[in-house]
Amino acid sequence: MNAGASLSHPSLPSWRELYKAALFETNHEKLPERIADAEGAIVARARELFASSADTIEEDQALDDALYALRALQSCVSRQTAAA
């Protein structure tokens, strides 16, 4: 199984795929939904890792970094919406 794939739903997009989709979304109307989808997948993956006994420090850090970036992106989107 690749890093970032869901243990309970391997057919669903990985958190990394959803994260990239949010980062590279060009349609401003779809962006909030993409961000929410990615955040949900990141939180779900973090919970899976918390419940596992494996050493996952690298992926834990990647999840933290991705969540931080998504929140920064959301902040930019919110500011653009307020300014418009």
52-75 residue pLDDT tens: 988 999 999 999 999 999 999 999
Percentage of the chain beyond pLDDT 70 is 88
- Return the pLDDT at 12: 81
CA angle (23 as vertex; 19, 28 as ends), nearest 5: 120
Q: What are the respective helix, strand and coil percentages of the chain, to the nearest 5? A: 70, 0, 30
Task: Judge whether 15 and 44 are in contact, CB under 8 Å.
Answer: yes
- Return the pLDDT at 4: 47
Tokens 């989107």 belong to 77
Residues in the chain: 84
Give Dmax (Cα) for the chain.
Answer: 48
Q: Flag whether pLDDT at 9 surpasses 70.
A: no
